[in-house]
Amino acid sequence: MNKKYTLGIVGVRGYVGRELLGLLANHQEIQVDWVSSRQLEGAPLSGLLGEENHFEFKGLSDEHYYRQVTIENLSAEMVAERKTDIIVLALPNGLAEPFVKALENAGNSQIIIDLSADYRFTDDWIYSVPELLNIEKISLHKVSSMMKISNPGCYATAMQIALAPLVKYINGRANCFGISGYSGAGTKPSANNDPENLKENILPYALLEHLHEKEVSYQLGLPISFSPHVVDFFRGISMTVQLELKESWNSEKLFNLFEEFYSSYPCVGVTQSIPNIQQVKNTNNCLVGGFKLSVDGRRLSFVSCLDNLLKGAASQALQNIELALNIEYL
């Protein structure tokens, strides 16, 4: 196949790596050249995209090029030697650094995108929710031979899309109550993805100083409080936001602010009614709405919903890659 850009993924055992593979399977301008996983070394790539109930992607044609790809176990130095245009690091937090250093030293790749939290507070990386990205910032990075992109967290994306239009109008701290499907806890067995523990249950966790609380506060320059919870469905995030406004607003003015702010971005929708997870599940979209104001117009509550594995992770990563390459989104 004659694809313009080559791409490699380090870490495909997790849910996000598999989602990204599904999105890239029929991409017109990007070809997956290789994938690396220590645990899955030697397995066929096509086996990751079968009939599993959690994923919309239902298998491959007999002729698809994925069927010729075998999962490898590549060291950081081996990855750097591949001279691949785009490197996606889909690793747990804390494991990206050796690969980044090897890639920087080799200088063979155009783009590194890290899906972990390792570089979300690092100034020489581009942190990008695409709908909120400062285009001048990405343009400055384009003059160098390598672009390093830090993909935001899933909860952090839901909160930032909700809060960004209002930042200068908020009085004090915004409060965010998040509920996620158990895929957010990853594939490694834990109390937060144990079916028996989750059955007919809701599990609060990390109720103070969660990493995504720090991430959103840092990126928006706005103090927030965030309380995450996990429940017994697989995918999706519902984020309820409550805050106080500096002055009185009405519903029409508020709705118009959000509609105008996101009018150029097809992956963000604004709705008068309260959005829910079923509306965004298995899509690349974030839906914000259900704006409710107090009688005095100063206290506001509303909801932001997205698919944590797609707009919260894999499809956002693809948006960022396409933005960096100046090709059409998704």
Query: Pairing state of beta strands 30-36 and 5-10?
Result: parallel
Q: Give long-range contacts, CB 8 A cutoff, 24+ apart: 67-72.
A: 69/32, 69/34, 69/35, 69/44, 69/45, 70/42, 70/43, 70/44, 70/45, 71/12, 71/35, 71/36, 71/37, 71/40, 71/41, 71/42, 71/43, 71/44, 71/45, 72/34, 72/35, 72/36, 72/37, 72/41
Alpha carbon distance 270, 238 (integer Å): 15
Quick check: 322 and 328 in contact, CB under 8 A? yes
Whether 154 is catalytic: yes
Quick check: 26 and 32 in contact, CB under 8 A? no
Alpha carbon distance 122, 218 (integer Å): 11
- Please state, as a whole number, how many other Cβ atoms lie within 10 Å of the Cβ of residue 61: 10
Alpha carbon distance 122, 92 (integer Å): 17
Question: Which residue of the set 154, 176, 267, 305 is catalytic?
Answer: 154
> What backbone torsions phi and psi does residue 300 show, to the nearest 5 degrees?
-130, 140
Q: Which residues are catalytic?
A: 154
